[in-house]
Amino acid sequence: MTELLTSAQMRAVEMAAIEAGSVTGLALMEKAGQGVVGAVFKRYPHLAEGDHVCQVLCGPGNNGGDGYVIARLLAARGWAVHVFALAPAKTPDAKHNAERWAQGSAPLTVAGLTAAPAPDLTVDAVFGTGLTRGPGEDLVTALRCAYDRSALIVAVDAPSGFCLDSGRWLGGADGCVAADMTVTFESPKVGHYLAQGPEACGQLETVDLGLSAWRAARSASAAASENVRLLDPDRDAARLRAHFTKGQGHKYSHGHVLVLAGGMGRTGAARLAARAALRVGAGAVTLAAPGSAMMECANQVTAVMLRRCDSGADLEALVGAGKISTLVIGPGLGLEDRHAGLVRAALATGLRCVLDADALTLIARHPELRAALHADCILTPHMGEFARLWPDLAQRLTDGGEALTGPAFSKIDATRAAAASAGCTVLLKGPDTVIAEPNGHANVHAALYDHTAPWLATAGAGDVLAGFIAGGMAQSTRDAAWCAAAAAWLHVEAARAFGPGLIAEDLPEIVPNVLRKLFGVSSS
Ligand SMILES: NC(=O)C1=CN([C@@H]2O[C@H](COP(=O)(O)OP(=O)(O)OC[C@H]3O[C@@H](n4cnc5c(N)ncnc54)[C@H](OP(=O)(O)O)[C@@H]3O)[C@@H](O)[C@H]2O)[C@@H](O)CC1
Ligand SMILES: [K+]
């Protein structure tokens, strides 16, 4: 997995390297500036030829210092470079580079920007990891003007006003500025992958500053609950292969998933989850449906087994009789008291249990169900369900007041708090899916940047995800959070493999293609 850093963690890595004498701040700043210029030329090769017009917006801190380095490097190539400074450079390294920039600067104002020639490139180096609060109104207006006037915007570390700890824009209610490319240093930051991050940052490039040993030392010495990891399909390929490998053995040695279905006319969601669990490798899957829905289910399932289950007592008997290893409850279940009774019975089995959809709403409504959650449960809410379960946490995620004074409250903070209060793993869905465990371990699976899967916004896709998680969990005593992460990966890859026109039924059916590709097996 790729490590995502908070702003404070990045500062700690930089300080540790500097204090140990292995590098100077000035050397890092020069490398950062060179890295930005290199990344721009790599992505926009037409800019590497000839001379162009550039505006560089500089803040008072080291983000601004990077801007002065970039201005110098572009001017040395013959570019016409205009620097606009929010305030004089304050830090020693930024001051040094501001002094080396001999051509002077104009104040960062709308009047100043519009008086200068329209640029081919604007570099936003006002604030990066040092943003402590929302930018003032005048600055937001000037930033918007600069962003609107330029053919191309490259942000250094982040579009200014954007919180790298949460992915939230701190610059007030009216949207946020959006760069074409953002160049960050050493490691992506948490905010690049959350909330408005991808929309604000455009394309994301990470420049290596040579601090990997310091980065590794920091993460090794930090409490695991402080570290956030991003599932990286390339780096994690071996682990994913191990997860989806089916070893020798009979069907029950690959686990038996039991999916509870709702009543007549509502069984589609559970059937989707059941088929997904089977496709992902569970040895056997049983659909447990009420009497009223038996015919409906019988007409629609083949490899999935079918059993009648009208009550908590029936569920208890089914679990007692079979070799059930994992339960899925919630998709299409219903919200009546008898459904709450089924959730109660499911939790009382103590089995590994994926709770989704209606089960989440029932837990929100019935405190005794919440109290019965145990460490082998996974809750898989979307944001609406999350808000039903944890209205206070959801409120903090949307609270404009808190975001303006930020390091803003993030989706990771919210999911960690939810997992701690539930005492089990929580997967909070979205293009920025966050998976957190009660001990604070957190990872992100992002269908973002060059890895989007917009087709996943389709009815029933969440039910399939529940089945993918359960199918993985059923096969062993695998770590629940990893099962959730691997399922989130498969879910996105399946959607991407199918592409436009995807409906939820297609997701389990395309799984063999995705897994063949993962295992490097030709499909012919
Ligand atoms: N870490 C690394 O390895 C490397 C880091 N590098 C670079 O350093 C950057 C971090 O630099 P940094 O720490 O100096 O913070 P930065 O983002 O320039 O902002 C701080 C200044 O902004 C001010 N300020 C903040 N919010 C404000 C607001 N709303 N409105 C007005 N002012 C506000 C704040 O003022 P204060 O809060 O103190 O009043 C302070 O003066 C990082 O993003 C990267 O580009 C690379 O050079 C090399 C390797
Ligand atoms: K910036």
- Asked if residue 93 belongs to a known ligand binding site, the reply is no
Report whether 215 contacts 186 (CB < 8 A).
yes
**Taking the domains of the chain in order of start, what are their residue ranges?**
2-222, 237-519
Spatial distance between the Cα atoms of 457 and 484, rounded to a whole number of angstroms: 18
Which of 15, 19, 62, 164 most suits a substitution to test ligand 1, by most atoms within 8 Å of the C-beta?
A: 62
63 is in an annotated binding site: yes
188 has pLDDT over 80: yes
* CA-to-CA separations, 107 to 84, 134, 196, 431, 498, in angstroms, rounded: 5, 19, 29, 39, 51
Q: State residue 475's pLDDT score.
A: 83
Kindly state if the Cβ of 281 falls inside 6 Å of ligand 1. no
* pLDDT tier, 318 (very low <50, low <70, confident <90, very high otherwise): very high
Residue 265, pLDDT score? 96
CA pair distance 192, 179, nearest whole angstrom:
12
Strands, DSSP E only, in 265-376? 284-289, 305-308, 326-329, 352-355
For the Cβ of 472 lying below 6 angstroms from any atom of ligand 1, the answer is no
What's the topology of domain 237-519? Answer: UDP-N-acetylmuramoyl-L-alanine:D-glutamate ligase (3.40.1190)
Which of 449, 431, 493 has its CA nearest to residue 43? 449
Cα(140) to centroid of ligand 1, in Å?
Answer: 17
- How many angstroms does the Cα of residue 68 sit away from the middle of ligand 1? 14
Report which protein residue has its CA nearest ligand 1's atom 45: 63
What's the whole-number average pLDDT of the chain? Answer: 94
pLDDT at 91 over 60: yes
Strand partners, 203: 181
35 lines ligand 1 (CB under 6 A): no
Which numeric CATH code is attached to 2-222? 3.40.50.10260
**Which residue's CA is the nearest one to ligand 1's atom 11?**
62
- CA–centroid distance, 179 to ligand 2, in Å, is 10
Nearest to 503 by CA among 493, 494, 512: 494
**Predicted local confidence at residue 497, as pLDDT:** 96
Neighbours of ion ligand 2 (CB under 5 A): 124, 128, 155-156, 160
Examine domains 2-222 and 237-519 and report if their fold is the same.
Answer: no
In short, whether 88's Cβ falls inside 6 Å of ligand 1 is no
Take atom 9 of ligand 1 and give the residue whose Cα is closest: 63
Neighbour-count burial for 37-50, b at 16+ CB within 10 Å, e otherwise? bebbeebbeebeee
Higher pLDDT, residue 176 or 515: 515
Kindly give the distance from the C-alpha atom of residue 189 to the centroid of ligand 2, in angstroms, as a whole number.
13
Measured between alpha carbons, how far is residue 461 from residues 69, 355, 455, 468 in Å? 47, 15, 9, 11
What does the pLDDT look like over 223-260, one tens digit per residue? 888 899 999 888 999 999 999 987 767 766 679 999 99
Tell me the two tokens of residue 149.
């006037």
The packing angle between helices 461-473 and 506-519, to 10°, is 50
The yes-or-no verdict on residue 314 having pLDDT over 60 is: yes
Tens-digit pLDDT profile for residues 377-407: 999 999 999 999 999 999 999 876 666 666 7
Rounded to an integer, what distance in angstroms lies between the CA atom of residue 246 and that of residue 380?
A: 25
How large is the ipTM? 0.98
DSSP state of 77: T
102/80 Cα distance (integer angstroms): 13
